[in-house]
């Protein structure tokens, strides 16, 4: 790859330690290629169900994810890398084909990401570890180069 091949690096995150590490790699790659980095915060199934039932308010969820996205912003700015972020539902109670892996790939296509850095988390079953099963799916089906860390 040349520096012109990578303009945008996507880093799907869920607030876990593994996603912090993935962000570090994404920022390093973006810095190397003079690219931008986009952190996609993927919400877990329990949060999505609570949002859809009205038990949780979207503003509260945005506040909860803000500290992580602020951390990404600080690290990207310190490295001189342009950054952006978004939040996505990692599950749907209405569409069975929506899962964290598909959400990552759909977002990569929507934002025209050239490279994906996905955390490869151990299967813990812990609440909030949304991306632990998504890495394999992303590795198998992404049309972009993928680094799994």
pLDDT tens for the chain, 149 residues: list them. 444 589 999 999 988 888 899 999 999 999 999 999 999 999 888 888 888 898 988 888 888 788 888 999 999 999 999 999 999 988 877 777 788 999 999 999 999 999 999 988 665 555 556 776 788 899 999 999 999 98
Instruction: Residue 14: give its domain's CATH number.
Output: 3.40.50.620
What is the reported pLDDT for 98? 83
**Within a domain: residue 140?**
yes
Whether residue 2 lies inside any domain: the answer is no
Angle in degrees, CA 144, 113, 15, rounded to 5: 100
pLDDT of residue 74: 96
What pLDDT does residue 3 have? Answer: 46
Residues of the domain holding 111: 8-148
- Burial bucket for residue 112 (CB in 10 Å: 0-12, 13-18, 19+): exposed
- Would you say 68 and 16 are in contact if contact means Cβ atoms under 8 Å apart? no
* Residue 59 neighbours by CB under 8 Å, 6+ apart: none
pTM: 0.88
For residue 119, tell me if it sits in a domain.
yes
In a domain, 105, yes or no: yes
Residue 1 inside a domain? The answer is no
Number of domains in the chain: 1
């Amino acid at each position: 790859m040349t520096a012109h091949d990578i303009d945008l690096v996507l880093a799907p995150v869920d607030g876990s330690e593994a996603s912090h590490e993935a962000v570090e790699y994404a920022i390093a790659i973006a810095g190397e290629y003079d690219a931008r980095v986009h952190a996609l915060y993927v919400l877990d199934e329990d949060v999505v169900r609570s949002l859809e039932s009205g038990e949780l308010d979207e503003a509260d969820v945005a506040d909860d994810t803000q500290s992580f996205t602020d951390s990404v912003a600080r690290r990207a700015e310190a490295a001189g890398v342009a950054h952006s972020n978004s939040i996505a539902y990692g599950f749907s109670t209405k569409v069975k084909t929506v899962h964290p892996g598909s959400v990552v790939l759909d977002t990569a296509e929507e934002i025209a990401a050239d490279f994906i850095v996905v955390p490869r988390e151990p299967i813990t079953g812990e609440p909030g570890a949304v991306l632990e099963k998504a890495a394999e799916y992303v590795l198998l089906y992404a049309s972009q180069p993928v680094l799994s860390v």
